Chains A and B, each alone.
Chain A
């Protein structure tokens, strides 16, 4: 699973995901991409599950790029613990994803396979998504 190699601080504030994505909204590498339509935190486990779903559907063909990275440590308090006594321990890593962010990109496979792979990946993610296609490719929606 993805996680930072080292961090300056062990714990972070929760934060809020406001507005649309400011970058990473256009296809940069592949011909097909999976775009987030809602804001949410995507955990490293969910990213890994989506990656596996995509690479298994593509059957060792094509290339995959992951364009989000889980760099937010999320803490949790143990069960049946009273409030207070400090912040809980870091439990997992998550990526903050705003609407419009392209999370995965694929190239080297047909449109049908890319669509199937992204449908399977979307099922592993907690947000609504859509498949986007580079301008000039045979089918799909318009994006640059």
Chain B
């Protein structure tokens, strides 16, 4: 687990569409802190710093310490809304963390040892089924990322959650099956070439059968 991220927040007195838009015009992003059986607090955070944290790639599974009016709130980002066209953050949800609590978090997946995979060397592509895995973990020990090794994987092979050892007290939310994380597949170009070859053979077969039918009718 990495160090907690820090963000300076300000109190937002008015909620709603108009107030939020006014906040965004000042270079800040509306946000809310909720959870831990306390009343929600509407806040705003600086857009520049928030964007920097988003670029780290593990913002959604990192503890964020929000400094608000001299007090520090330990939170976990639960949702970030982005503008559909400009991709700027427009709202953030922060969940207040209870001391000693367990929480379900989406942890990003990373892959290593690509050069040791025979399938990848042959031109195969890594088809990532899950970019993130939902894990139940203690709020003070959230993993940054899950590292999966691709060593020894050929085309058609797959990696499941059982392939790695999770840290202590960390369990996947899905427990009824050994779910797939990624598979090594043939690249699209090879697949489309195969499909084209199949189509050609099918067309040739159809043309042959049509010619036979014509010959019979004559």
Contact = CB atoms under 8 A, between A and B. Distances in A.
Interface of A: 20-21, 25-26, 35, 37, 55, 58-64, 99-100, 107-108, 132, 134-137, 141-144
B192 interface: yes
23 contacts: A26-B82, A37-B85, A55-B188, A60-B123, A60-B190, A61-B125, A63-B185, A99-B85, A100-B84, A100-B85, A107-B126, A107-B128, A132-B87, A135-B54, A135-B55, A135-B57, A135-B59, A136-B58, A142-B54, A142-B82, A142-B87, A142-B89, A143-B87
Interface in B115-151: 123, 125-128, 131
Contact of A63 (B51, B58, B125): B125
Contacts of B59: 135
Give chain A's interface secondary structure class.
loop
B38 interface: no
Nearest to A141: B87
Q: At the interface, is chain B mostly helix, strand, loop or mixed?
A: mixed
Interface string B180-215: 000001011110100000000000000000000000
Interface of B: 51, 54-59, 80, 82, 84-85, 87-89, 108, 123, 125-128, 131, 185, 187-190, 192
A128 B55 CA distance: 25
A108 B192 contact: no
Given A134-B131, A142-B89, A58 B189 contact: yes
A109 to B, nearest CB: 9
A144 B188 contact: no
